[in-house]
Amino acid sequence: MPRTLRPRVFVTRQLPGEALGRLGKHVDLSVWEADMPPPPEALLAEAARADGLVTLLTDRVDARLLASAPSLRAVSNVAVGYDNIDVRACTERRVAVGNTPGALTETSADFAFALILGLARRVAEADAYVRAGHWRTWSPTLLLGTDVYGATLGIVGPGAIGSAVARRARGFGMRILYVGRQARPALEAETGAVRVDKAALLAEADIISLHVPLTPATRHWVGREELAAMKPGALLVNTARGGVVDPAALVEALRDGRLGGVALDVTDPEPLPPDSPLMTLPNVLLAPHIASASHATRGRMASMAVDNLLAALEGRRPPHCVNP
Ligand code: DGY
């Protein structure tokens, strides 16, 4: 295609793998080279002349951006979640929105399980203890944790990632409970998972793992009431979105000692401010939103995002399109 006729695409960060090289063969490509995301005004300015955007979960695509982007036809998010995008506004403007489901399921489930084990068995604390030179001798009371094998796991959101966590939990002899909008007979048959209501999951789970997208219905799904209803000493793991947990209520429950601990790959806000109590409270395991961060998976996500974008720019429905 002559260069002048090629669609213009702005990518909000460098991506791993070969995806951008491939995209560059079809479009007029411009990539934000900084490590930090483009500030909103810069994104607006780029969107104003773009036919397509490749975005990350740090980039807000809303009615204001759409109003300043007359030729925009497609937004391709390099993530399965798309709470950073106003899909309704995009749909009204006939802008296709793509995401990357499937690509990161197993990698994210591995990490959720790493956090479950790390939190229950105090792996980060143990590492810090040894490095600080505190280890003097074997002790029967040193860094005692919670058994994962045989514990009851409560899965909130038995979608692809929640189900993959349940399969791992089965190998650990866990009793698996889940809450979800619909029953999952295949998951139940494969893992022995039992669908329960929210009250039962909160009351019975030793460990709760969150796997719901962030929507108005799931914002603060774990709040003051839910934390009070959890089993004393229970552990909470969030690899979904920070907004699913009320941060103020979480800090209170940790300070009270009612919650046994929390592992957060996602927080609200992201990143946490340096003075957040979560930075200093014990029994808190933190990660910088890396559940999907393996070389292979991030390459796959970038590649899927490029496929989605190219399809939309060619006038086809993207293979993974979230517009209704
Ligand atoms: C997603 O894809 O939504 C994750 O949060 C980042 O991989």
Question: Is a pLDDT exceeding 90 seen at residue 216?
Answer: yes
Summarised one tens digit per residue, pLDDT across range 47-89 is 999 999 999 999 999 999 999 999 999 999 999 999 999 999 9
CATH superfamily name and code, 105-286: NAD(P)-binding Rossmann-like Domain (3.40.50.720)
Cα 198 from Cα 283, distance rounded (Å): 24
Each domain of the chain, given as residue ranges in start order, spans 3-103+296-313, 105-286
Q: Which residue(s) pair with 263 in the sheet?
A: 237, 285
Q: Give the number of other Cβ atoms within 10 Å of residue 236's Cβ.
A: 26
Q: Report residue 108's pLDDT band, with 50, 70 and 90 as the boundaries.
A: very high
Question: Is a pLDDT exceeding 60 seen at residue 302?
Answer: yes
Cβ-contact 28, 6 below 8 angstroms: yes
Cβ-contact 315, 82 below 8 angstroms: no
Rounded mean pLDDT, 230-243 = 98
Cβ-contact 109, 210 below 8 angstroms: no
Q: Which of 289, 298, 300, 320 is catalytic?
A: 289
Rounded mean pLDDT, 94-108 = 98
Rounded mean pLDDT, 86-97 = 98
Question: Is a pLDDT exceeding 80 seen at residue 3?
Answer: no
Rounded mean pLDDT, 126-154 = 98
Common-topology check for domains 3-103+296-313 and 105-286: yes
The residue nearest atom 4 of ligand 1, judged by CA position, is 79
Dig out the tokens for 239 from the structure: 């690899």
Q: Identify the residue with better confidence: 188 or 3.
A: 188
Which pLDDT score, from 0 to 100, does residue 5 have? 82
Q: Which residue(s) pair with 194 in the sheet?
A: 177
C-alpha 241: how far from chain center: 5
Which pLDDT score, from 0 to 100, does residue 212 have? 98
Mutate to test the pocket of ligand 1, among 80, 289, 298 (most ligand atoms within 8 A of CB): 80
Q: How far is the CA of 82 from the centre of ligand 1 (A)?
A: 8
Q: What pTM was estimated for this model as a whole?
A: 0.96
Q: Report residue 2's pLDDT band, with 50, 70 and 90 as the boundaries.
A: low
Residue 163 burial (10 A CB sphere; 0-12, 13-18, 19+): buried
Which residues sit with their C-beta closer than 6 Å to ligand 1?
Answer: 57, 79-81, 104, 292
Rounded mean pLDDT, 21-48 = 98
Give the number of the atom of ligand 1 that is nearest the alpha carbon of residue 240: 5
Helices of type H across the chain: 19-24, 40-47, 63-67, 87-92, 105-120, 123-131, 160-171, 185-191, 198-204, 224-229, 247-256, 295-313
Cα 85 from Cα 77, distance rounded (Å): 9
Question: Is a pLDDT exceeding 60 seen at residue 1?
Answer: no
316 CB-near residues (< 8 Å, 6+ apart) = none
Question: Is a pLDDT exceeding 80 seen at residue 189?
Answer: yes
Cβ-contact 21, 64 below 8 angstroms: no
Average pLDDT, the chain: 97
The residue nearest atom 3 of ligand 1, judged by CA position, is 81
Cα 30 from Cα 86, distance rounded (Å): 23
Identify whether 289 is a catalytic site residue: yes
Q: What is the dihedral of CA 112, 114, 115, 121, to 10 degrees?
A: 150
CATH superfamily name and code, 3-103+296-313: NAD(P)-binding Rossmann-like Domain (3.40.50.720)
Identify whether 3 is a catalytic site residue: no
Rounded mean pLDDT, 93-120 = 98
Cα 153 from Cα 193, distance rounded (Å): 9
Q: What ipTM, to 2 d.p.?
A: 0.98
Which pLDDT score, from 0 to 100, does residue 4 have? 60
